[in-house]
Copies of this chain bind each other. A is one copy, B any other.
Amino acid sequence: MLRTQTVRNILSWYEGETPGLKSNLSRLLMHGRLAGTGRVVILPVDQGFEHGPARSFAANPVAYDPHYLYELAIDSGVSGYAAPLGLLEQGADTFAGEVPLILKLNSGNSLVGAQDQALTGKVEDAMRLGCVGVGFTIYPGSDSSYDMMEELREISLQAKSRGLMTVVWSYPRGGKVSKEGETGFDIIAYAAHMAALMGATIIKVKLPTAHIDLDAARSTYEKAQIPGTNAADRVRHIMQAAFAGKRLVVFSGGAAKNTDELLEEVRAIREGGGNGSIIGRNSFQRSKAEAIALLNQVMDIYA
């Protein structure tokens, strides 16, 4: 399938990036069921690091096998698969070239109290494994946030010079951010904007609530009457914050408790102009048939 006008348009936003990076971005945008639509659904599996194996895979034990996760990503037709080193290595050869890969380069875990992550992969690994990009988490607000940003800057420079995209998980926490504020409307907009400012190719944030967290921001939101009462309006504002919509932004699940709520959120993302979803636990913790069914419902909305 040849690139669509939609995809050509998206690539045009990334002026100044190398043809190699655009080629890899194109591979992501032209893969799977959403190929050519400018929307993406990505399967992320970093929960093993974040929460441990049982909390991640006990609900669907076949998912302990890394090959299963590759197969889920391939058979469901999602746009890409993002995971830490070990998970990508165990399958990279068997499934070489079958799904765009994003190597998550840093990882946190629940045993450590600090709001930080360890570098657990390298740009060289991403090239060796044939990835289209690298992933990196920053925690704006935390004590480690400036260090994380500086690591991101180094990694981003290395990755882009080799034609790899940088996908940034921008998750504010700590510092002046309250617990509720971690998904606050102003905070998520801020998080998306900082990722864009740091040169992220794709930005990953949480779906915001209507809560405004920073006192300093509240008067602005009120004075400018930024619409935020419904989810689609809030997504629209996040996209604004991402260079007037000229950076791809994908959202992870909000407060959804069941499938209907999740699909409702997806509709809001679509309506608000968001570029797609990252759906992890909601897919790999279900049986494969249920997971594929759900992912297809999601992709039907975006298509």
Q: Is the CB of B55 within 8 A of A217?
A: yes
Q: Is the CB of A18 within 8 A of B20?
A: no
Residues of B within 8 Å of A25, CB to CB, are 96-97
Q: Is the CB of A90 within 8 A of B246?
A: yes
A272 CB–B CB distance under 8 Å = no
Q: Is the CB of B193 within 8 A of A53?
A: yes
Residues of B within 8 Å of A121, CB to CB, are 153
- Give residues 124-159 of A contacting B (CB, 8 Å): 124-125, 127-131, 140-143, 145-147, 149-150, 153, 157
A122's partner among B92, B119, B141, B153 (CB-CB below 8 A) is: B153
With A2-B98, A19-B16, A153-B121 known as contacts, the answer to whether A226 contacts B85 (CB < 8 A) is no
In the complex, given contacts A52-B217, A107-B197, A113-B176, what are 9 additional A-B residue pairs having Cβ atoms less than 8 angstroms apart? A2-B74, A3-B98, A18-B130, A22-B96, A53-B240, A54-B186, A111-B176, A120-B149, A129-B163
Chain A residues proximal to chain B, CB less than 8 Å: 2-3, 11, 13, 15-27, 30, 48-49, 51-55, 57-59, 61-62, 64-66, 68, 74, 84-87, 89-94, 96-98, 107, 109-114, 116-122, 124-125, 127-131, 140-143, 145-147, 149-150, 153, 157, 161-163, 172, 175-177, 186-187, 189-190, 192-194, 196-200, 214, 216-217, 220-221, 223-224, 226, 237, 240-241, 243-244, 246
Closest 9 CB pairs of A and B: A26-B97, A23-B130, A19-B92, A111-B141, A65-B244, A20-B130, A58-B224, A22-B96, A118-B146
